[in-house]
Amino acid sequence: MKKYLVIGNPIEHSLSPLVHNFWFRKYNLSDSNYEKRKIERIDLKNIVDQVRNKKIEGVNITVPFKKEIIPFLDSLKGDAQLTLSVNTLCKNNNEVIGFNTDTKGFKNSLKNEKIDYKNKNILIIGAGGVSSSILAAFVKSAKKIYITNRTRKKADELKKLGEVSLTLLGRKKEIIEVVDWGKTVEICDIIVNTTSIGLLKGENLNLDFKKYNNVNSLFYDLIYNPKETNFLKEAKLRGNKIMNGKMMFLWQAQIAFQMWTGVEASIDKELIKLLEV
Ligand code: ATR
């Protein structure tokens, strides 16, 4: 049996097993199985060792270990290097390698909706665990990226990380600007909520988006359960476009699945419906 895992803490709510086991069945990979496991920080080394020994074929990592796993890995590839956030482990030539499929998953979700995110003004709300993956999606081509976070210091750190990418790309550091929490900026084309506000019913960001009335901007919330946070409900009432994080979640899984199995799994209606539980 080939074993796959998603590790995190908490982990009960993870829908990753549902998705990957759906694909294992669909593509007749009956010798493969995907489970969720709640772990503690102390277990990280052991998990990586098990990937190295082929006891585990592949691992997804979720909150709060996407950064903490890094010291135990042999190397990081692609967006994992730029974001310092690892959500997927693979073994390659005896090395356990950390990948980040969140950034590409996010970009795919936009491309799939034919949303042009190049040369646009972007506002990233939050500077937590997932924010660097969103920032990485925009550094290459955004006109301007504003970051705002309740705790300014974390936004400053995220900006510094983004500046490394901008420098590598030969772009100006000034493209990223940190804005104090609650302060408004020029109208942006895409506004992404990367905070955890909205996970609980009734929670509200309390940011002022009045000037977006009837503006054709996209309000994107990475949260997909609940389906429509207040952030999205209010955007809809203002006449803005909205998206939740469901398709990003599915795309990040699709990319990891292909890395592990070589199968380019499809995100079909049946799968999308399966997540509506
Ligand atoms: P995770 O790893 O789940 O992303 P995190 O790193 O603590 O968790 O990030 C959560 C994000 O939601 C952060 O941007 C956090 O802001 P702070 O850095 O100021 O903590 C944001 N957040 C959570 N609760 C918030 C609240 N009540 N008001 C404003 N921002 C909040």
Is residue 130 in contact with ligand 1, taking CB distance under 6 Å?
yes
Catalytically annotated residue among 36, 66, 91, 246: 66
- What is the mean predicted confidence (pLDDT) over 185-196? 97
Q: What is the pLDDT of residue 202?
A: 87
Residues 6+ apart with CB under 8 A from 11: 36, 37, 38, 39, 62
**pLDDT of 249 over the 90 cut:** yes
Candidates 71, 66, 70, 75; CA nearest to 94 is: 75
Q: What is the pLDDT of residue 124?
A: 98
* Separation of alpha carbons 169 and 147, rounded Å: 19
Higher pLDDT, 252 or 277: 252
Which residue has its alpha carbon closest to ligand 1 atom 5?
Answer: 128
Average pLDDT score, the chain: 97
Question: What does the pLDDT look like over 139-179, one tens digit per residue?
Answer: 999 999 999 999 999 999 999 999 999 999 999 999 999 99
Which residue has its alpha carbon closest to ligand 1 atom 10?
Answer: 128
Q: Could you give the percent of the chain with pLDDT greater than 70?
A: 100
Question: What does the pLDDT look like over 110-127, one tens digit per residue?
Answer: 999 999 999 999 999 999
Q: Cα 34 to the chain's mean position, in Å?
A: 20
Is residue 63 in contact with ligand 1, taking CB distance under 6 Å?
yes
* Separation of alpha carbons 260 and 241, rounded Å: 35
Candidates 169, 115, 101; CA nearest to 141 is: 169
Pairing of strands 75-76, 95-99: parallel
The token pair that represents 107 in the structure block: 């970009």
Q: Could you give the percent of the chain with pLDDT greater than 90?
A: 98
Q: What is the pLDDT of residue 277?
A: 66
Task: Identify any residues that bridge with 162 across adjacent strands, giving them in sequence order.
Answer: none
Q: What is the pLDDT of residue 276?
A: 87
Q: What is the pLDDT of residue 175?
A: 98
What's the gap in Å between 196 CA and the centre of ligand 1? 6
Question: How many helices (H) and strands (E) are present in the chain, helices listed first?
Answer: 9, 12
**pLDDT of 235 over the 70 cut:** yes
Q: What is the pLDDT of residue 213?
A: 97
Is the preceding omega at residue 226 within 30 degrees of 0, hence cis? yes
Angle at 199 between CA 14 and CA 236, to 5 degrees: 120
Which residue has its alpha carbon closest to ligand 1 atom 28?
Answer: 150
What's the gap in Å between 200 CA and the centre of ligand 1? 13
Which residue has its alpha carbon closest to ligand 1 atom 14?
Answer: 126
- What is the mean predicted confidence (pLDDT) over 253-261? 98
What's the gap in Å between 252 CA and the centre of ligand 1? 22
- What is the mean predicted confidence (pLDDT) over 60-80? 97
Strand ranges across the sheet with 95-99: 32-38, 2-8, 58-61, 88-92, 95-99, 75-76
Is residue 195 in contact with ligand 1, taking CB distance under 6 Å?
yes
Is residue 150 in contact with ligand 1, taking CB distance under 6 Å?
yes
* Separation of alpha carbons 62 and 256, rounded Å: 13
**pLDDT of 24 over the 70 cut:** yes
Question: What does the pLDDT look like over 201-222, one tens digit per residue?
Answer: 889 999 999 999 999 999 999 9
Which residue has its alpha carbon closest to ligand 1 atom 27?
Answer: 197
Q: What is the pLDDT of residue 151?
A: 98
Would residue 66 show up in a list of annotated catalytic residues for this protein? yes
Candidates 101, 102, 83, 115; CA nearest to 243 is: 115
